[in-house]
Structure 1
Amino acid sequence: MPRSDTRTDYDVLTFGEAMALFIADDQGPLDQVTRFHRRTAGADTNVAIGLSRLGFDVRWLSRVGADHNGTFLQRALEAEGLDCRHVRHDAANATGMIFKERAINGADPHVEYVRRGSAASHLSVADASDVELETARHLHATGIPPAISDSARELSFHLLRQARRAGLSVSFDPNLRPSLWPSEAVMIETLNALAAEADIVMPGLGEGRMLTGRETAYDIAGDYLDRGARAVVIKLGPEGSYFRTADSEGTVGGSPVAQVVDTVGAGDGFAVGIVSAYLDGLDWHAALHRGNLIGARQVQVIGDMEGLPNREQLVAMERSGDAR
């Protein structure tokens, strides 16, 4: 469970790349769409927003450009309650962008990134020089920052190791993005090394198979327990999720969904459920139930984080077992 013997000033630190998301207003290929609306995107920010909506004090560390998208993102994240004191505005490099097709019948929408050389790709250990990890409860990390540049990779290792030394609990979602890595071998080696620094590791089943070479959820979890994780939680898609610790394991079935609108952000919603439940002191069955519910709610809306509930909505969802 999270430490209780030390005074904490805030609950969670997250870090990574926030991007301006341009979602097509109309269906069809992006080259035929003329109208978009702008929102926020980024796996790390999705989790940060979700935890903030549930009442946790969340700090966000990143770089954005000194441009209109950077200003838009900071305002949007602050409006969601995030503490952005560790966000740098980079005058030399632009904020990353994503253009996203309108999803059709629940299919994964086509997206195109404009992020090469983005401000966030210039994240480095120096950006964490004023971070006070010793007064936090938890660090959440994903495999995306270490994929975007060597310096951001160094920052990832630095923060996870410093968090462990400071006594924080650490969660890690591999969030595979193979196209961002120089090779599959480098991706696997790096992400497994980062997972070894975490208390809670949260791969999808396919991700776990690629990263460990194991086939079953039980064996994938065992691989990460052997590396030092205290708990491994594996996403099984519509079938639900599985957990394993040193002395227990279990599967929690998925939450029914009336209509899948957009699958993007479902894994981030699941991570919000797991991390929030852990910080709330719930057991693993309850944590997986919460993760399944929030992930199911997220796939029923357009946008990467619009389905993430506030605390009142979450309480109602958990009481009824309904993800709507």
Structure 2
Amino acid sequence: MSQFVAFGECMIELSSREGSLHQGFGGDVFNTCVYLKRTFKYIDSGLLTAVGQDLQSEQMVATFAREQLNIQNVLRHPQLIPGLYWIHNDEVGEKIFNYWRDNSAAKRTIELVNASNIQSLGSADIFFFSGISLAILPKEDQAKFFDLLNQLKKQGVKIAFDPNYRPKLWANPQDAKDLFHQCFLLSDILLPGVEDFSLLYGIEDEQGVLEFLAVYDIKELVLKNGAKHVTVQYKNKQTVVTITPVTNVVDTTSAGDSFNGVYFGARLNGYDIETSVKMASRIAGEVVQHKGAIVDADIFSKKVKQLFLDFAPAK
């Protein structure tokens, strides 16, 4: 069985729906794991994260289990509790967040990692993290995190990174640039958006991003350009994959997360890179037509069935 592990934070999600407040759970890498597992049920999808020992933590771990995620590396902090965010959407479906996460258990994940965790992570096919995962890391844990990445890479685990740059999470842009440089050096798979480079580096177009990344030894590059298209670079071949635009955008919260999850799942399931992008884009386009980070399971199941009717099994 193929194994996928994502490092980062899952939080309590509060959202307004039809005049009432709804509680759920969300976070970029959690969402990625869920959409991967829901689409490709025979892939082991799990999190490296930390929760507390409170009621909300128990509910969160129960949600992981209900989504059939691997919880072997969900660690427990003796004092801290999960972070929280409140989300609402503007008139075109764009997300607006308010966070309460400064002292969350997930921020202390790396200091809780032990030899047993490292051994289990070494059996993964892909280890994934994002710029948000990095942004919540205390400075004193950054070196230990990169030591972990190096250990996993030496054991043959593919390192995958999505910059997912959120300026509000960083003390200053230079901190992000310094850490991203280390990530680019270690990444086998990179899934940036042009927007990430526009916000952080002032690079406004795809060609500029490709030129910036050319100095790094990235095996598999998936460059997302919003709803326009995706440019992929693999084995010295560059391909532009056209995206079918979605007209009924309700909530963009998990657009990138669902894309990433289905893309990783498709690749692990043997699909070629172009087909994987098409499958991921299809699902992302469905997800943005529903409210919340995680689409209702029954609704999503119908979309997955149609997906596999439209795409032949990988050879």
Same fold (TM over 0.5): yes
Aligned to 1:106: 92
Aligned to 2:4: 12
Task: Establish whether residue 206 from structure 1 lines up as the match of residue 192 from structure 2.
Answer: no
Task: Establish whether residue 145 from structure 1 lines up as the match of residue 133 from structure 2.
Answer: yes
Give the residue type in structure 2 aligned to 1:247: N
Aligned to 2:59: 72
1:178 to 167, 171, 175: 167
> What SS is found at the alignment partner of 1:58?
strand
Give the residue type in structure 2 aligned to 1:317: L
Closer, same or farther in 2 for the Cα pair 1:178/1:314, shift >3 Å?
same
Aligned length: 305
Aligned residues of 1:123 and 1:152 also touching (Cα < 8 A): no
> What SS is found at the alignment partner of 1:272?
helix
> What SS is found at the alignment partner of 2:71?
strand
Matches within 5 A, 1:248-259: 248-259=237-248
> What SS is found at the alignment partner of 1:273?
helix
Instruction: Give the C-alpha shift of residue 99 in structure 1.
Output: 1.1
Closer, same or farther in 2 for the Cα pair 1:216/1:257, shift >3 Å?
closer
Residue deviations 1:258-280, cap 9 Å, x none? 41110111011111122112212
Task: Establish whether residue 122 from structure 1 lines up as the match of residue 108 from structure 2.
Answer: yes
Aligned to 2:45: 58
Measure the CA separation in 1 of the matches of 2:93 and 2:122. 43
Q: TM-score, normalised by structure 1?
A: 0.86
Instruction: Give the C-alpha shift of residue 26 in structure 1.
Output: 3.8
Aligned to 1:32: none
Measure the CA separation in 1 of the matches of 2:51 and 2:86. 17
Task: Establish whether residue 135 from structure 1 lines up as the match of residue 127 from structure 2.
Answer: no
Q: 91-100 vs 153-162, which deviates more?
A: 153-162
Task: Establish whether residue 41 from structure 1 lines up as the match of residue 30 from structure 2.
Answer: no
Which 5+ residue runs of structure 2 have no aligned equivalent? none
Aligned residues of 2:173 and 2:200 also touching (Cα < 8 A): no
Q: 45-54 vs 222-231, which deviates more?
A: 222-231
Aligned residues of 1:133 and 1:166 also touching (Cα < 8 A): no
Instruction: Give the C-alpha shift of residue 22 in structure 1.
Output: 0.9
Aligned residues of 2:75 and 2:109 also touching (Cα < 8 A): no
Aligned residues of 2:159 and 2:189 also touching (Cα < 8 A): yes
Which 5+ residue runs of structure 1 have no aligned equivalent? 1-8, 28-34
Closer, same or farther in 2 for the Cα pair 1:99/1:215, shift >3 Å?
closer
Aligned residues of 2:153 and 2:159 also touching (Cα < 8 A): yes
Aligned residues of 1:274 and 1:287 also touching (Cα < 8 A): yes
Aligned residues of 1:59 and 1:84 also touching (Cα < 8 A): yes
Instruction: Give the C-alpha shift of residue 160 in structure 1.
Output: 2.2
Closer, same or farther in 2 for the Cα pair 1:22/1:215, shift >3 Å?
closer
Measure the CA separation in 1 of the matches of 2:275 and 2:27. 26
Aligned to 1:247: 236
Question: How many percent identity over aligned positions?
Answer: 23
Measure the CA separation in 1 of the matches of 2:264 and 2:210. 18
Aligned residues of 1:11 and 1:58 also touching (Cα < 8 A): yes
Instruction: Give the C-alpha shift of residue 105 in structure 1.
Output: 3.8
Measure the CA separation in 2 of the matches of 1:63 and 1:177. 21
Measure the CA separation in 1 of the matches of 2:82 and 2:217. 36
Aligned residues of 2:75 and 2:112 also touching (Cα < 8 A): no
Residue deviations 1:206-245, cap 9 Å, x none? 1134455544323423433421111211111111211123
Q: TM-score, normalised by structure 2?
A: 0.88
> What SS is found at the alignment partner of 1:78?
helix
Give the residue type in structure 2 aligned to 1:257: V
Measure the CA separation in 2 of the matches of 1:83 and 1:151. 28
2:157 to 153, 168, 176: 168
Aligned to 1:221: 210
Aligned residues of 1:108 and 1:264 also touching (Cα < 8 A): yes
Task: Establish whether residue 261 from structure 1 lines up as the match of residue 250 from structure 2.
Answer: yes
Measure the CA separation in 2 of the matches of 1:41 and 1:121. 15
